[in-house]
Amino acid sequence: MASVPCILFEDEHLLVVNKPAGWNTHAPSATAGEGLYDWLRHREPRWAQLAVVHRLDKETSGVMVLSKSTLANRSLTEQFSRRTVRKRYLLLTDRRPPAATLVRRSELARAGARYTSRPPGTGGVPAETRFRIVAANASPWLIEAEPVTGRTHQIRVHAAEAGFPILGDVLYGGSRAPRLCLHAAQLELCHPATGHPRQWTVPPAFTADPPRALRAAFLDSAETTACRWIHGAADGWPGWYVDRLGSVLLSQSEAALTERQRERLVEWLAQERFDSVYHKRLSRRLRMTPAASLAPSLVFGNPAPHRVDLLENGVRFAVGLEEGYSVGLFLDQRDNRRRLLVNHVCAGLPAFEAGPAQAEVLNTFAYTCGFSVCAALAGARTTSVDLSRNYLEWGQDNFRRNGLAPATHTFLRGDAFDWLRRFQRQGRQFALVLLDPPTFSTSKIGGRFQVERDLGRLVAAALPAVQRGGRLFVSSNAARLSPADFLESVSRAVAAGGRTVARQHYVPQPPDFPVGRDEPAYLKTVWLCLE
């Protein structure tokens, strides 16, 4: 499988990473977007015991160490407590520092979202930071900061207090910039097992485009050529969404492209050598809008072919730009599809209890069968159900693109509720049932389906199809359905159906769909092991 580009070093005790700006160290809440630590810990079985021993602010980039063993956790905790770990940061400021070197000592206390600096002995936690000008007689100035203590926002508070707030740190009076220009450039510690000193150094990339740097930290471009390129306000572009689809960029917003957006698209077209750039006008009245008017328009480059090839975790898929609202692959489910490929949902929870070989998988609302392809590549036998014959044929083409024979799998056209009733009458059960319904749909047999109202009914209908010890995957992208209500609907239906949840794991949207105050999370997914 694909590597994780931000990893600098790994052995049986340590995992050292280069954290990008814009990614939390860990999730701020159980249903928020995963932090770097959470995303790594749930990605590979060998990382299941990862532990956080120090943190970087969300907007700070640079070197961070995670422990993989009990020995490492104990040793690193002791080293950080004794302050023998040496950390060197670099920052930019557009304010002239008062001296070539200086030391700030104070006590820090929280005041809302900020921290305030107080004289020693007046309350708060002691903090000391040493500063040194690296590049003088220039603006912005490059400053080295060495935190003797490790307090939250310490460098930011002390730099602002000394009269040179960090560029991009508007919270503490810094000038606006594309990112907070603070980088953990060097980390030096003693290896927990050998006792030998180890050092990792990564130069800052303050001029790099923050959204690009974030994606480059966790996506291996040799294995994955499809992702959310810009995710609205969370990436500094409110209302604008851009997807990379192989050799094509697809821009989406409710309005026509602004001049600034067009300029940025031209830059990306030149830098990344895309063949085409398209723009699609989003409509709030989706069901009342003709499908033809939902298709995107070519903005730059050459017309894209009928099917555009792309890679996702090494799996081949085809998407189309003439299909109306969606292109044939929901990029926000990439990590969940990977869980099927590697048979690993999270620590202690495989996707297939007895392994994927010959396991039976039911994929309802299958669309173009992305989940089915990944399950089949892992060795499972899949049954894909969808209302659309066109999408099922598209799904079979995705099978063939990956060397899979569609004839050895099952593709059923029709209403998901109807097929679930048929399977119940037949007594047919599956090792895994996947429920990823649309927010709204209508069928002649099942009638109107609205996920906020009918999710529990769907889960109840699926329960008889899940074998004892099997897995149920439930997902919704309905923005108006809160994570709490989503999980409550699922758990209430499971309990009413007489089943017990032995283990569950909630998964939010992936890191290329970052979550922010102005760009709330919308995707909610949960994996259940049912007894």
Q: Judging by beta carbons within 10 Å of its beta carbon (0-12, 13-18, 19+), is residue 77 exposed, middle or buried?
A: middle
Q: Using CA atoms, how far apart are residues 93 and 369, in angstroms rounded to an integer?
A: 50
Q: Is 11 a catalytic residue?
A: no
Task: Tell me the pairing of strands 226-231 and 141-147.
Answer: unpaired
Cα-based torsion angle of the residue sequence 71, 72, 74, 76 in order, rounded to the nearest 10 degrees: 160
Q: Using CA atoms, how far apart are residues 242 and 248, in angstroms rounded to an integer?
A: 10
In degrees and rounded to multiples of 5, residue 159 shows phi and psi of -65, -45
The active-site residue, picked from 11, 38, 57, 418, is 57
CA atoms within 13 A on the CB side of 227: 23
Q: Judging by beta carbons within 10 Å of its beta carbon (0-12, 13-18, 19+), is residue 285 exposed, middle or buried?
A: exposed
Strand order in the sheet with 410-413: 410-413, 381-386, 360-364, 430-435, 466-476, 524-530, 501-507
Q: Using CA atoms, how far apart are residues 20 and 61, in angstroms rounded to an integer?
A: 5
The pair of three-digit structure tokens given for residue 34, joined into one six-digit string: 């995963």
Q: How many Å separate Cα 422 from the centre of its chain?
A: 37
The pair of three-digit structure tokens given for residue 164, joined into one six-digit string: 């040179």
Number of helices (H) and strands (E), helices first, in the chain? Answer: 12, 27
CA distances from 52 to 45, 80, 474, 527 (A): 17, 12, 29, 25
The answer to whether the beta carbons of residues 405 and 383 sit under 8 Å apart is no
Active site residues: 57
